Amino acid sequence: MRALLWRDLRLAVRAGGGFGLGLAFFLIVTVLVPFAVGPQTGRLASIAPGILWLGALLACLLSLDRIFALDFEDGSLDLLATAPLPLEGVVAVKALAHWFTTGLPLVAAAPALGVLLSLPGPGFFWLFLSLLIGTPALSVIGAFGAALTVGLKRGGLLMSLLVLPLYVPTLIFGAEAARRGAEGLAVETPLMLLGGISAGALALLPFASAAVLRVSLR
Amino acid sequence: MMLELRDVSVARGGVPVLDGVGLVLGPGEAMVLRGPNGSGKTTLLRAVSGLQPVLAGEVSGAERVAYSGHADGLKANLSVAENLAFWAAAFGTRGIEAAMEAYALAPLSDRWAGNLSAGQKRRLGLARMLVTGRPVWVLDEPTVSLDAASVALFAAAVRGHLGAGGAALIATHIDLGLSEARVLDVAAHRAMAPLPGSDEAFL
């Protein structure tokens, strides 16, 4: 398991591994938004939490199809399925590697990019915390979508369509927590619901993804 | 008994291809599968490895199988040694030197797998079988793109594996020089074409 995590992380940071793709996309979105909506601080501040959450979600979506497609193409997935590792564990580790290479950099970068959108002072911590709690759900749900479409050529479009509705609850509660934090309101309820979504996704979806992968490998 | 198939039927894409295949492999035994292209050798080997379910019959010993398919499962951005070390770790064994030695990969150890020739990649893929530590090797066309010297290395590795009490099931078209291996021609087990009018595939 640890070997698989190391291998995925190493592959991600080596040439052509796709590390930084999501981060670059996130950066581009947040840099361009002030140009598109105008520089009024009040308007930017009110939309900043939502824009940052949406940017992080789309950046996450961008790199999802790499989770299984590359391993499927070069035959590694067949070999992993015959290895003594449980397939559920393989899925969980690969989702974790995706979170380390995509979700975690987004969480770290979001407060810095919040400055560009004049996010109000109290919002920085809550944005950071809500992303930290919510992005694991994005990776695990995304791994499920990637597992569903792994056998399809150019399955990226279908995967986006399948995954986006599943992302909606995470986005609603994540952005709500960040918004309420920025406006100085109580954030407990959306944060708890966000944590619940993450915990539920982490607990259940690896099993669903592994079942789907077994069907895809036939 | 290492691997036993009893009356196994397999299907590919919903179409039955092989019917009533039975075989028994004991320690130190090898079997070569023969049959024309499309006769179902790959499908049978995937079923034996547990990658796809059988239509009927029973496979026992799938958990002892190390599978090698058409693709070698190599990562282009990892070195030869890193690729092999990963599979050793995934199968819970350690020590890749013997496998590197057996396929003359030691001089390539630090090269990226993406920069290897087709034959070298295949050798690395076959070396993976040695680090799995599994007693039954299931190999699908293992000698594709290997030169004569590499085929000899492969035959020596298989013979060493059999000598150590392992077993091997190999689908191949060429003569590996494994005189002790039994031959199973899968063409004899071709599944009967479904009756016209049967729309089972749509159910």
Q: CA-to-CA distance for A214 and A149, rounded, in angstroms?
A: 12
CA A210 → CA A36, A64, A141, A218, distances in Å? 42, 16, 13, 13
Q: In this complex, which of A17, A76, A217 lies closest to B77 when CB atoms are compared? A: A17
Kindly determine whether residue B73 and residue A3, on different chains, have CB atoms separated by under 8 Å: no
Tokens standing for A54?
Answer: 């949406």
What is this structure's pTM?
Answer: 0.89
CA distance B203 to B189: 25
What's the average pLDDT block by block, 10 residues per block, for chain A (218 residues)?
A: 87 78 91 89 89 94 88 89 91 94 93 90 92 95 93 85 94 95 92 96 95 88
Question: What are chain B's domains?
Answer: 28-51+64-183 (3.40.50.300)
Q: Are A26 and A59 in contact (CB under 8 A)?
A: yes
**Testing the interface with A: which of B86, B126, B137 to mutate, by most A Cβ within 10 A?**
B86
Name which of A1, A72, A79 to mutate to probe chain B: the one with the most chain B Cβ atoms within 10 A of its Cβ: A79
Kindly state whether B115 is in contact with chain A, defined as any CB-CB distance less than 8 angstroms. Answer: no
What is the residue whose two structure tokens read 């996704």?
A201
Show the domain range for A187.
2-216
Amino acid at B25: L
Q: How many domains does chain A have?
A: 1
Contact list, A7 vs chain B (CB under 8 Å):
75, 78, 82, 86
CB contact under 8 A, A4 and B91: no
Please list the pLDDT of chain B residue by residue as tens digits (203 residues): 889 999 999 988 888 888 888 889 999 899 999 888 888 889 999 999 988 889 888 998 888 899 998 888 898 889 999 999 999 998 888 888 888 888 999 899 899 998 999 999 999 999 999 999 899 999 999 888 888 899 999 999 999 999 999 999 999 888 777 777 888 888 888 887 655 555 554 44
Asked if B127 contacts B84 with a C-beta cutoff of 8 angstroms, the reply is yes
Residues of chain A whose beta carbon is less than 8 angstroms from a beta carbon of chain B are 2-4, 7, 10-11, 14-17, 73-76, 78-85, 217-218
Contact A196, A133 (CB under 8 A): no
